[in-house]
Structure 1
Amino acid sequence: MSPAIQHTIAIHQVAQMLLGVEREADRAALLRRAGIAPALLESGLARVTQQQYARLMSALVRSQRDELCGLGSSPMPLGTFATGCRLLVGHRRLGDAIRAGLRYYHAVLPDFVPRLQVDGATAYLRLGARRGMQSRQIYAARVFMFFSYGVMCWLAARRIPVSEVVYHDSDVARRSDASRLFQAPICLADGEWGFRFDARWLDLPVVQNAQSVEEFLQQVPGCLLVKYRDQASLTERIRRMLRRYLAEEMPSLEQISDMLATTPQTLRRRLQREGQGYQLIKDALRRDVAVEYLTQSDLPLPEIAARVGFAEASTFHRAFKGWTGLTPGAYRHAHQDDERPSASA
């Protein structure tokens, strides 16, 4: 088994997604339906796979009968997203489709107002709060922001580069994975969220149609997590390069700079613009591959340690606990225990 190079998602995102579910028993049942061990919520550093997160979102929509997963002050009826997507493919330009989509959502979003603002060469998709919002409503705004970006990219069948992501809370921004998801730096603003991009992308043609929209709707939300990640970004290029060295000693910053025909100083600056650092990329790759091995294979822990570049299992244990808050054994046992049928089943 050779795991895909897929990013994992912070357990903080899972906890936020469940804010609209009141009963603990219901939360635990939803987590199990998504293949997520409820015990992982006790560790603020744990990670889940993209497939697990997508399954949780789908399970929440079905159980709550609300496309905002119970996060808003009032539910969003099932079918709202599908109707909106079908509306968008009737437009010829991306900018026209975005404006039409935001007008459509004005009537159904109770807690925040989405707008497209263009200032010279910069476009800004901005979400402004209608009133004071609780944590769950704030997370709903961030989910809507991410879905809006994914739909934009899908309409044009290409990734739209983001120059800046706007969050209103520094602690939430730090834990949100937003910089990695959008591959752009984060700035802070009071009472608003959004992202900025070059306004010239608004003139892109909408290439989707009535047939492709039905195929797209069968694949959401999972496809939005991975399809339009910028595979050409420096972060992703380095991540793919390092995958070849995962079981060996990884190249130094100087060596990877030589491979990319650049200098270490330039490499650091370019990674910083993407909200990344070389050590962060190495640690995240090892962590994500280890999580996939622990949850989707029966490999012994020493073998997993070797496959992610650790000569000693004890060193791997310490590193993994630093990344996720749990030892590899505890992480695996949490999933195994959760998969065993209960006595009442």
Structure 2
Amino acid sequence: MRERTIASHFVRAALRGAERQGHDCTPLLRQLGIQPALLDEPRARVATEQFARLVQLLWESLDDEYLGFGRLRSKRGTFAMMCYAIIHCHSLEKALGRGAMFYSLFPEAPAISIQREGDWARLSVDDSTLWDPDHFLVESLLVIWHRLGSWLIGQRIRLEEATFTYSQPAHAGEYELLFPCTRRFTAGRTSLLFHARYLAMPLLQDERTLKQFLQHSPADLLAR
């Protein structure tokens, strides 16, 4: 995002799940040095460190990696266990497929799928089980899975296209760095399209590097 800062829209959106459950997030914002009045300013921005810490504190207070947007909680540690389940896969395709299968074991979880389309591969997220009015969680999942895959193979996966089932939002300018590719709204699915050659690439990470990675992820993946 612009100048290594995060638009206030994403802060407001991140809090919606907790507020829906009756949590007063004002003390949390003040703890992070974010003035609540700042969220009423559409052009206001916060530091990436503040945003990453906000997401971490929301996970801790809610014990929910879905931040209150799912029908059921995804308890803290779920993402980490998924990463340990995939870290010894021989290729990115195996890792992404196993990760998607891992989350399919949880009822009411947003479905993640990997499909080949000729020379291309598409990672899709079905958010039909979510209460996600700002599309914050589904967009976060796309970002996290794209950046996780890139980290696993040690190179950035170049995106060809990002599609979204909803209409273009007012803050669409922020997507230039979140999804640096062609973007289509009001599409049939929410997904990322990239070249299938990445799927055959071997994983360059192991449990040692994963342990370090998980100290700050996936919040760090969102805040970059």
What corresponds to 2:52 in structure 1?
54
* SS across alignment from 1:125: strand
Equivalent positions of 1:16-165 (< 5 A) are: 16-22=13-19, 26-108=24-106, 110=108, 112-130=110-128, 133-136=130-133, 138-165=135-162
CA-CA distance at 1:136 after TM superposition: 4.5
Percent of aligned positions that are identical: 30
CA distance change for structure 1 residues 129 and 66 in 2, over 3 Å: closer, same or farther? closer
Is residue 177 of structure 1 aligned with residue 168 of structure 2? no
The code of the aligned residue for 1:220 comes to: S
Question: SS where residue 186 of structure 1 aligns?
Answer: strand
Give the helix-richer structure, 1 or 2.
1
SS for the counterpart of 2:4 is coil
- Matched length: 222
Residues 53-73 of structure 1 show CA distances to partners (whole Å, capped at 9, x for unaligned) of: 101100100010111111212
CA distance in 1, matches of 2:141, 2:170: 15
Q: Report the counterpart of residue 166 of structure 1 in structure 2.
A: 163
Change (3 A) 1:176 1:84: farther
| Deviates further, 53-62 or 138-147 | 138-147
TM-score by length of 2: 0.89
Call closer, same or farther: CA 1:24–1:34 in 2, change over 3 Å. Answer: farther
Superposed CA deviations along residues 265-292 of structure 1, whole A, max 9, x for unmatched, are xxxxxxxxxxxxxxxxxxxxxxxxxxxx
Question: Could you tell me whether the CA contact under 8 Å between 2:65 and 2:73 is conserved in 1?
Answer: yes
The answer to whether the 8 A contact 1:129-1:192 is kept is no
* Partner Cα distance (2:211, 2:173) in 1: 30
Residues 124 and 191 in structure 2, CA contact (< 8 A), matched pair in contact too: yes
8 A contact 2:91–2:201 mirrored in 1? yes
| TM alignment of 1:263-278, pairs within 5 A | none
* Bigger radius of gyration: 1
Q: What stretches of structure 1 move > 6 A for 4+ residues in a row?
A: none
Q: Tell me how far apart the structure 2 counterparts of residues 143 and 225 of structure 1 sit (CA, whole Å).
A: 7
Partners of 1:167 and 1:193 within 8 A in 2: yes
Q: Taking CA–CA contacts closer than 8 Å with sequence separation of 6 or more, which of the two structures ends up with the larger relative contact order?
A: 2
Q: Which secondary structure state, in structure 1, belongs to the residue aligned with residue 169 of structure 2? A: helix
Determine the structure 2 residue equivalent to 1:263: none
1:125 to partner: Cα distance: 0.2
Q: 1:45 to 1:137 in 2, by over 3 A?
A: closer
Q: Give the conservation status (yes or no) of the 8 Å contact 1:33–1:56.
A: no
- TM-score, with length taken from structure 1: 0.59
Counterparts of 1:176 and 1:60, CA distance in 2? 26
- How many Å apart are 1:187 and its aligned residue? 0.7
Q: What's the secondary structure of 1:172's corresponding residue?
A: coil
**Counterparts in 2 of 1:212 and 1:41: CA distance versus 1, 3 Å:** same
Gaps in structure 1 of 5+ consecutive residues:
228-345
User: What is the alpha-carbon distance in structure 1 between the residues aligned to residue 55 and residue 188 of structure 2?
Assistant: 25
Distance 1:189 1:126, change over 3 A: farther
Report Cα offsets for 1:35-94 as digits up to 9, x if no partner: 321111111221112111101100100010111111212110111011001111110101
- Report the AA paired with residue 215 of structure 1: Q
Q: Is the 8 A contact 2:160 2:181 kept in 1?
A: yes
One-letter amino acid of the counterpart of residue 41, structure 2? S
Matches within 5 A, 1:189-204: 189-190=186-187, 192-204=189-201
> Once the two structures are superposed, what CA deviation does each residue of 1:179-213 show, in whole Å capped at 9, x if it has no partner?
31231121124463111101101111101111111
Cα contact 1:125–1:195 (8 A) shared by 2: yes
* Contact 1:164/1:186 (8 A) holds in 2: yes
Q: Which runs of 5+ in 2 are unaligned?
A: none
Q: Distance in 1 between matches of 2:167 and 2:128?
A: 21
